[in-house]
């Protein structure tokens, strides 16, 4: 990029740099502190972690204490009274342990860990999306502020133009239509300035909503003025697998594969063990029996085909997750190609508009000088001034648009890392 183009690219940003202004990163940090997106995503991650803890707890022994007091009419038969006393008190410690569930229990734990990882990657993607929202809002404000300054400069030029033409009319050097033409354009510019002012107020309200900063916050970021070189397209395409949304989808596929194993595990027998240690037992023949252990083996023989139906359902969900991942990868490549080409096009547009702005400004200055000498027509000066106004505004719009495209490219190619946030 030539120095001449770079000067036009950076000039508006260099002219608005108050020391106490908020940078883009500061605005993003404010959004991380105050925007609800962070809290919502943290809550989802916390829920996923607790589901892992619940499943892990199900693999451990379940120990409980229980006490019962049983009453019934006294039996008339002495032998029956000995076996079944009318009052029975039982106090015991009980334990239950799952020994085998067709390995479903371990597949379920792995599945929940995959889902937790997927949710964490989804949170990272949401944090980057928040950055893009902040950047878009931030750059939109800077673009509108610069547009307002351009309009103010153009209005000042027309003020001078109207004053000059009015003097020429009074001296009989020009006709009244020339003044009216300039005044008409001047009025149109003032009306357009009001529209831009209204748009700027709305943009600042959106910025305040996203970041939590005051709508009147002064914004400037010297880092945005730095020329950024980008890599070849192939470099960005190789980074598709590093995207947080692709990582999340990949973990969802792994979770779907574990779900198939869980469903298939239902075909296997299950084995449980339960034991009791009695602190107190009813009086009678069982009074001296302090403990018991029971093993339970369950072998599924026929369930109406429900287990196999669940296996087929899980297999279908696995195919769905695989297709979703494949589509996401293709979509990621398409996004990277689009943002890359858009950014390159914006840079070329900035270069062309910088040249057009410089030439149109020189053309206006030359025609204005020639007009004062009687060598040019007023309509030519008017057209040249309009061309200069349109080119300068388009240059600034293209410059800020290129910054937005660069942010999109960096996020799409996973060049930006999600910040670490404090969890609930």
Show the domains of the chain with their CATH numbers. Answer: 3-62+100-274+306-412 (1.20.1600.10)
Task: Note the pLDDT of residue 171.
Answer: 83
Task: Note the pLDDT of residue 15.
Answer: 44
Beta-ladder partners of 272: 98, 296
**Which one has a higher pLDDT value, 327 or 59?**
327
* 38-55 average pLDDT score: 93
3-class secondary structure, 105:
helix
**Which long-range contacts does 23-29 make (Cβ < 8 Å, 24+ apart)?**
23/220, 23/221, 23/222, 23/223, 24/134, 24/135, 24/138, 24/221, 24/223, 24/224, 25/221, 25/223, 27/134, 27/138, 27/207, 27/211, 27/213, 27/217, 27/219, 28/130, 28/131, 28/134, 28/135, 28/211
**Which one has a higher pLDDT value, 11 or 225?**
225
CB-based contacts of 76, cutoff 8 Å, min separation 6 = none
Query: Sign of the C-alpha dihedral, residues 241, 243, 244, 245?
Result: negative
**Which one has a higher pLDDT value, 114 or 38?**
114
CA 119-123-129 angle, to 5 degrees, is: 140
Q: Is the pLDDT of residue 167 over 50?
A: yes
Taking the CA of residue 210 as centre, how many other CA atoms within 13 Å lie in the half-sphere pointing to its CB? 22
Query: What does the alpha-carbon distance between residue 187 and residue 164 come to, in Å, rounded to a whole number?
Result: 17
Neighbours of 180 (CB within 10 A): 13
**Which one has a higher pLDDT value, 199 or 380?**
199
* 202-223 average pLDDT score: 91
pTM over 0.85: no
Mean pLDDT of the chain: 89
Query: What does the alpha-carbon distance between residue 132 and residue 126 come to, in Å, rounded to a whole number?
Result: 10
Q: Is the pLDDT of residue 74 over 60?
A: yes
Query: What does the alpha-carbon distance between residue 207 and residue 312 come to, in Å, rounded to a whole number?
Result: 49
Task: Note the pLDDT of residue 11.
Answer: 43
Tokens 């030539």 sit on residue: 2
Q: Is the pLDDT of residue 158 over 90?
A: no
Q: Is the pLDDT of residue 100 over 50?
A: yes
* 64-68 average pLDDT score: 94
Torsion of CA 332, 333, 336, 337, to 10 degrees: -150
Task: Note the pLDDT of residue 227.
Answer: 63
**Which long-range contacts does 80-89 make (Cβ < 8 Å, 24+ apart)?**
82/284, 82/285, 83/284, 83/285, 84/284, 85/282, 85/283, 85/284, 87/282, 88/282, 89/280, 89/282
Task: Note the pLDDT of residue 73.
Answer: 84
3-class secondary structure, 137:
helix
The share of the chain scoring above pLDDT 90, in percent, equals 66
Task: Using pLDDT thresholds of 50, 70 and 90, give the confidence band for residue 259.
Answer: very high
CB-based contacts of 167, cutoff 8 Å, min separation 6 = none
Task: Note the pLDDT of residue 361.
Answer: 92
Task: Note the pLDDT of residue 226.
Answer: 66
274 and 95 in contact (C-beta within 8 Å)?
A: yes
Task: Using pLDDT thresholds of 50, 70 and 90, give the confidence band for residue 148.
Answer: very high
Record the tokens describing residue 169, joined without a space: 């009319």
Residues shown for the chain = 424
Report how far apart, in Å, the C-alpha atoms of 23 and of each of 118, 142, 263 are. Answer: 32, 11, 53
Query: What does the alpha-carbon distance between residue 122 and residue 38 come to, in Å, rounded to a whole number?
Result: 11
Task: Note the pLDDT of residue 6.
Answer: 39
* 340-347 average pLDDT score: 94
Task: Note the pLDDT of residue 76.
Answer: 76
Task: Using pLDDT thresholds of 50, 70 and 90, give the confidence band for residue 4.
Answer: very low
Task: Using pLDDT thresholds of 50, 70 and 90, give the confidence band for residue 275.
Answer: very high
Q: Which of 12, 10, 21, 11 is nearest to 220 (CA)?
A: 21
* 43-71 average pLDDT score: 93
Q: Is the pLDDT of residue 81 over 90?
A: no
Query: What does the alpha-carbon distance between residue 356 and residue 275 come to, in Å, rounded to a whole number?
Result: 88
The share of the chain scoring above pLDDT 70, in percent, equals 93
Task: Note the pLDDT of residue 88.
Answer: 85
Record the tokens describing residue 416, joined without a space: 């930006």
Task: Note the pLDDT of residue 166.
Answer: 87
Q: Is the pLDDT of residue 115 over 80?
A: yes
**Which one has a higher pLDDT value, 88 or 140?**
140
Q: Is the pLDDT of residue 8 over 80?
A: no
Q: Is the pLDDT of residue 33 over 70?
A: yes
Phi first, then psi: give them for residue 22, nearest 5 degrees: -85, 130
Task: Note the pLDDT of residue 17.
Answer: 42
Task: Note the pLDDT of residue 155.
Answer: 92
């Amino acid at each position: 990029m030539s120095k001449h183009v770079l000067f036009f690219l950076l000039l508006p940003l260099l002219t608005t740099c108050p020391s106490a202004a908020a940078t883009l990163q500061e605005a993003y940090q404010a959004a991380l502190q105050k925007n609800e997106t962070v809290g919502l995503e943290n809550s989802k991650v916390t829920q996923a972690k607790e589901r892992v803890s619940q499943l892990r707890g199900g693999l451990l022994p379940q120990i409980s204490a229980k006490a019962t007091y049983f009453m019934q009419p006294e039996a008339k038969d002495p032998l029956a009274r000995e076996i079944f006393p009318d009052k029975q008190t039982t106090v015991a410690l009980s334990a239950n342990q799952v020994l085998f569930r067709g390995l479903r229990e371990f597949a379920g734990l792995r599945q929940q860990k995959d889902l937790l990882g997927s949710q964490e990657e989804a949170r990272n993607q949401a944090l980057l999306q928040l950055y893009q929202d902040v950047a878009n809002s931030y750059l939109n404000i800077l673009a509108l502020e610069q547009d307002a300054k351009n309009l103010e400069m153009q209005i000042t030029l027309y003020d001078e133009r109207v004053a000059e033409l009015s003097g020429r009319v009074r001296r009989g050097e020009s006709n009244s239509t020339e003044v009216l033409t300039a005044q008409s354009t001047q009025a149109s510019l003032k009306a357009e300035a009001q529209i831009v002012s209204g748009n700027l107020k709305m943009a600042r309200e959106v910025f305040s909503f996203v970041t939590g900063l005051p709508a009147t916050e002064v914004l400037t970021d010297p880092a945005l003025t730095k020329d950024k070189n980008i890599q070849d397209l192939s470099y960005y395409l190789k980074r598709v697998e590093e995207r947080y949304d692709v990582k999340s989808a990949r973990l969802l596929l792994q979770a779907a594969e574990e779900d198939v194993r869980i469903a298939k595990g239902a075909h296997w027998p299950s084995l449980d063990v339960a034991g009791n240690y009695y602190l107190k037992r009813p009086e009678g023949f069982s009074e001296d029996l302090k403990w018991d252990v029971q093993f339970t083996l369950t072998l599924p023989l026929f369930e109406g085909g429900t287990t196999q139906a669940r296996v087929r359902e899980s297999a279908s969900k696995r195919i769905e997750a695989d297709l979703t991942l494949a589509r996401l990868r293709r979509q990621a490549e398409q996004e990277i190609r689009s943002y890359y080409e858009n950014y390159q096009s914006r840079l070329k547009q900035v270069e062309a508009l910088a040249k057009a702005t410089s030439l149109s400004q020189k053309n206006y200055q030359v025609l204005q000088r020639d007009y004062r000498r009687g060598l040019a027509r007023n309509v030519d000066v008017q057209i040249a001034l309009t061309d200069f106004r349109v080119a300068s505004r388009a240059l600034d719009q293209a410059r800020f648009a290129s910054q937005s495209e660069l942010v999109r490219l960096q996020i799409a190619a996973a060049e930006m890392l999600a910040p670490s946030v404090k969890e609930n």
